[in-house]
Structure 1
Amino acid sequence: MRVAQDLDYTEDPVDVPNPDRGAYRGRWQWVGTRFGATPEVDRRVPRAPRTGSYQGATLVAPGVVGVVDGDDLEPTEFFDGTDRSPRYVGGTGVVAEPSVAFLGFDLCEFSSNAFLTRAAGRASDAELAAAGGVATQEMFRGRTGRTGPLTSYALDVVRGALQRVRDGEGTALVKFSYDGNGFGFLEGGPDEHLIWGPEPTHVTPNNPSATCDVPGHTGKSWIEYHLWQLAPVLHEFEDVITCVKTGMLGPWGEQHSSPLAEDPAAYRALLDAYLDAVPASRPLLTHAGGYLAWHNATHGTALTFRDLDALPAPAPGTPEARFGFFHDSYAAGWSEDGWSDHGSLSEGSAMLVPPGTDPGFDRDAVTAWVGRQGSVVQGEGGLAPNVFSRLPGAIVEAQRLGTTLLNLRHGDYRTWNEARYTEDLVSAPVTLPGPGDGAEPPYTGRTVRAVFDPVYAGRTGLEYLRDRLGYRLVLRSSEVSDVVDARTGTLECAGHVQNVGFGGVVNAKQVRVLLRAVDGATEFAAPTDLDVRAWLPAADGDGRAENTGAWHAFACAIPMTAFGAVPAGEYDVLLRIADPKETSENRRGVRFANRGTWEAGLGANRIGRVVVR
């Protein structure tokens, strides 16, 4: 007979570092090097071992403090917009313990179009201007990488970074690009512009062919070949990869600005190569324009941004279902191009229509499409004060997108930190901008309301939004067998879980039931067929405990023989929820947001107690 368990079923309003979701610690900081000032964004992948200031990963100045390798998951304050060079982090007083490491790999050494330093890019640009815009090979010489295969040492650098993640507690957001530090783009001022496309598939005087010349692979482009080389590494570390940002095109790998990043044909080849290289269990991040370009080439359609409302949710198990979304100016709001977050939301829209034609961008349609993907949504930067970043609009926006990951370092979080989470503020109706609306109200879009959850009353908006990123699971009820026979009995567990986050559990998890002797360290485990990906948040964002319609029932009946020979005694019953390929016994377990249920030593949640006879 099952009996109700004496547990705390209320949500504990604290940071819960779970795999595949939350605030992540990126590499955003401005440091000085002997090559000039550079924003340390992505680690540079070398051809061979280096010494001195190279440090095997990226160019940093000797003695600079605060330089983090990207897989450092120490508790960190959210950035408050104040220049804190070289640390470029903190100031809000609100701390998150990241469970996701941003591993950006800059492959500039392997492209003859990619500058190795910011100074080299500027020097080449000056010579290009002096020559009237006519490029010559001399403008690149000594300033760029060299197109060719990734070396075994380079692959080992990638492998080593992922191994450090596996050895730690977190998972990884992985990105590859050929200009991870933006050296090929002059940013800021009226003359902001791209110098050259950094990709080894962009034909220039210094890179005369986009085609791989390795025997047996001459049918591939250099991007396709590099991803083919990386595929074994990505499969080897499938267990600790949250998602892969498809990158590769444009400065910072943000899929904008370069000629290839604005070419629909490039996305078919790029995304197909990623579909082949990355384990099928892991999401791929792109933008709406890139996805539509791939879809058109794959299915013979002619979709534009005007068709997003008609695109249904992708069927599970299809290539379409593998695509998530990256948003490189999250909630940045209005600029000269309208309500597109500095063009991040409308990225790629213009390449899908004839030149000079209205691309049909509608922010509401884009966010709805992103949410229907039901996948990972990664945000970076942005948060300029506007209706989409201030509460309550920020809550509605994140629920609609299903926001999963946000960069702790890049983005001014004062907007959320200075707002108190109160019923008057959160429940107030807000009208969103519609197509064509200007920066200031009145607006012509939908009027929406967020749902106030009293659990967070009086806390900051930043604390609430920090805790709602991705999934957040709260145990609402639990029943466990009172007494069970060790040889002939069946252990029964049942209860309810509520997902109060913005998104679902995207990557598959295996759920195991653990038995731990109350008077000792003896443990036993048995698998279940529970699928936590079905535990979705309420469609209207109502995560309050009294919304029992959003609770998800679970139940399992496990023959005691499945645990092996279990001695008589009293046992705690726990749920261990982790990746099916997890290599450790207690790391990267999914933790419920309840007080007193988490057992860190087992990486599992206590749901009750049973007597075995």
Structure 2
Amino acid sequence: MKWTNRSIFLGLVLVASCFLCCKRADGDPKPKEERIQYELSNTAFANPERGFIRTMSVKSDGVALTSAQLSLLRSQHVSMILCVIYFDQFKDKDISAGFLSLIESDLNTARNAGLKMILRFAYTDDMAGTDAPLAIIERHLDQLKPVFENHKDIISFVQAGFIGAWGEWHSSSNGLATVANERAVLNKLLSVLPMDIMVQVRTPGAKQQIFNSTVALTASQAYSSENIARVGHHNDCFLSGGTDYGTYTNVEQEKQYISNEALYVPTGGETCPPTGGYDPTCAEGRREMRLLKWTYLNLDWYPATINAWKNSGCFEEFQNNLGYRLGLVDAFFPKEAMAGGNLAVDLNIVNNGYAPLYYKKKTMLVLKNTATGTYYDKPLTVDLRLCKPTVTMPIKETVSLAGLPAGTYELYLRIADQHASLEARSEFAVRLANTNGWLEDHNGINKLNAQIVIK
């Protein structure tokens, strides 16, 4: 075939156009095949500050908790217990030094066992509601202040307590179940607790009346030092039907209020015997826990409801999804980097749990030198509390490689407790819900399935 100048020109244009079309412009997203894909897992495991819990009661004349009691719970994927402490012998006087010492001993035992505690204080465990006068309660809270400070690392939440039967803010023999007295107890409790510990009140109406507002917390208020931003909810007659034994007054409105609040403050509690023919099926449990963003649920009550879930096959689902359940979705890391340079972190993480994290964690990119086995932690600024239920959140940061010698490195993500006392404990690190992704090495790390060569 004879080539003309015109046909040669058109051919060159065509080749150039194809080259330009096929070349990915700088800044375009990486092709999907370049990104590491992670498989989500349905495996049950314990994670801090979430999940099914157990309840233990401590009386004034009782005995201390034991390591054997608490260590067994870890094997049942329980990471948290509700400890209800009764000042039944101190309704008219100071808490004794001996009983304060026993409380501290129990907190230390929990820490050693790798568990955190939800605390509630009360004066009686029967409907007589024989509690203490407000002045005694305030004095007892002053005595508890150093206990709270010394053990803030393992206190997940504190239920408002003190008033009436079981500290549930009803049936008070001293007439304390009023808005004014509840406000006084709550404000005093918040004043003696370390600023970052959250409190739970028994009903949504109680919080609304105490703070004189029916408006749920907003993102701008969340995690602040305002008292209203530190108060969540516990429902001790969950899934019992109707008003849940008086938990709600305007059921649908108050459930939506809690749903909005629980983006920032915790919701949890226990079930009760159903009323009026209500049946807390798997579907009802799933719907309510997701709506109300339940972060923990007591295994000890109501047993018929818990057993029904086990028999119906949804117990494991609830075990996995109570609270947060974070998992890696995908990530991209360069294959090489220069010594002393920077490394771009680009990954997506999803929360398939019913609730978010409520406490900030220390999140780190970990690089392990494959030749020497040395680990290097590079802090990330991401706040994983912002990964809300059903949300996929990107993490895009740049970390400095200063101090790392040339070599090949495996990459991991480490999510540690914010307290220095627990930072090196794998039991208090966050495990991600990915297949074959968790290692106990280096105080608990999550594999990123990536290597980088530093030259």
Q: Distance in 1 between matches of 2:176 and 2:412?
A: 48
For the 8 Å contact 1:475–1:592, the answer to whether it is kept is yes
Q: Structure 1 residues 311 and 250 mapped into 2: Cα distance closer, same or farther (>3 Å)?
A: same
Question: Amino acid of the residue matched to residue 555 of structure 1?
Answer: K
Cα distance in 2 for partners of 1:403, 1:383 equals 19
Q: Which of 69, 82, 87 pairs up with 1:107?
A: 87
Equivalent residue runs for 1:378-527 within 5 Å: 378-382=268-272, 384=274, 389-411=280-302, 412=304, 413-419=306-312, 460-486=313-339, 488-527=340-379
1:20 aligns with 2:49: yes
CA contact (8 A) 1:23 1:469 kept: yes
Gaps of 5+ in 1: 28-41, 47-53, 58-66, 77-95, 112-146, 186-193, 202-209, 211-220, 297-302, 334-338, 347-360, 420-459, 539-549
* 2:188 partner letter: A
Aligned-pair CA distance for 1:500: 0.6
Contact 2:328 2:350 in 1 (8 A): yes
- Offset at residue 517 of structure 1 (A): 2.5
**Quick check: 2:35–2:332 contact (8 Å CA) kept in 1?**
no
Alignment equivalent of 2:396, drawn from 548, 552, 555: 555
Letter in 1 for 2:374: T
Give 2:268's aligned amino acid. Answer: Q
1:537 equivalent in structure 2? 389
Instruction: Name the SS for the 2:89 alignment partner.
Output: helix
TM-superposed CA distance for 1:280, in Å, is: 1.6
Q: Which residue of 1 aligns with 2:411?
A: 573
CA shift at 1:604, angstroms?
1.8
- The residue aligned with 1:169 is 114
Name the aligned partner's letter for residue 342 of structure 1. Answer: Y
- Taking a change above 3 Å as real, the CA distance of residues 379 and 568 of structure 1, as seen in their structure-2 partners, is same
Aligned residue in 2 for 1:592: 432
Paired AA for residue 569 in structure 1: G
Q: Which moved more, 1:96-105 or 1:398-407?
A: 96-105
1:16 Cα deviation from its structure 2 partner: 2.5
- 1:289 CA displacement: 3.1
Q: Paired residue for 2:243, among 309, 318, 340?
A: 340
SS in 1 for 2:132: coil
- For the aligned residue pairs, the C-alpha RMSD in angstroms reads 2.5
- In structure 1, distance between residues paired with 2:270 and 2:284: 18
Q: Is the 8 A contact 2:425 2:444 kept in 1?
A: yes
Amino acid at match of 1:503: A
- Rounded to whole Å, the distance in 2 between the matches of 1:9 and 1:168 is 31
Structure 1: 4+ residue segments shifted above 3 A: 1-8, 54-57, 67-73, 310-314, 383-388
TM superposition score normalised by structure 1: 0.63
Offset at residue 56 of structure 1 (A):
4.5
CA contact (8 A) 1:387 1:394 kept: no
What SS does the aligned partner of 2:73 have? coil
The answer for the alignment partner of 1:289 in structure 2 is: 205
TM-score, normalising length: structure 2: 0.84
2:259 matched to which residue of 1? 371
Aligned residues of 1:8 and 1:594 also touching (Cα < 8 A): no
Aligned residues between the structures: 412
- Map of 2:237 onto structure 1: 329
Q: In structure 2, do the counterparts of structure 1 residues 500 and 551 end up closer, same or farther at CA, with 3 Å as the change threshold?
A: same
Residues 592 and 605 in structure 1, CA contact (< 8 A), matched pair in contact too:
yes
On the 8 A contact 1:383/1:415 being kept in 2, the answer is no
CA displacement 1:83-138 (0-9 Å, x = unmatched): xxxxxxxxxxxxx4101122221111211xxxxxxxxxxxxxxxxxxxxxxxxxxx
Report if aligned partners of 1:25, 1:408 keep a CA contact under 8 Å in 2: yes
Within 1, Cα distance between the matches of 2:299 and 2:130? 27
Change in CA separation of 1:44 and 1:254 when aligned onto 2, cut-off 3 Å:
same
Q: Kindly state the Cα deviation for residue 552 of structure 1 after the two structures are TM-superposed.
A: 0.8
Superposition deviation, residue 10 in structure 1: 2.4
Structure number with bigger Rg: 2
For residues 332 and 291 of structure 1, the distance between their equivalents in structure 2, rounded to whole angstroms, comes to 21
Q: Does 1:248 align with 2:162?
A: yes
Q: Which runs of 5+ in 2 are unaligned?
A: 1-25
Q: Distance in 1 between matches of 2:192 and 2:78?
A: 27
Letter in 2 for 1:478: A
AA aligned to 1:414 is N
* CA distance 1:150–1:70, shift in 2 (3 Å): farther
Q: Which one-letter code corresponds to 2:49 in the other structure?
A: D
Kindly state the Cα deviation for residue 164 of structure 1 after the two structures are TM-superposed.
1.7
Whether contact under 8 Å (2:46, 2:74) holds in the other structure is no
Alpha-carbon deviations, 1:358-415, whole Å to 9, x = none? xxx2211121111221221112132639667213222121111111111122222133
Task: Give, in whole Å, the separation in 2 of the partners of 1:319 and 1:69.
Answer: 37
Whether the 8 Å CA contact 1:383–1:389 is kept in 2: the answer is no
| Contact 2:216/2:261 (<8 A) preserved | no
The structure whose residues are more often helix, as a share, is: 2
SS of 2:271's partner is coil
Aligned-partner SS, 1:418? helix
Q: Distance in 1 between matches of 2:87 and 2:273?
A: 29
Name which of structure 1's ranges 271-280 and 567-576 shifts more when overlaid on structure 2: 567-576
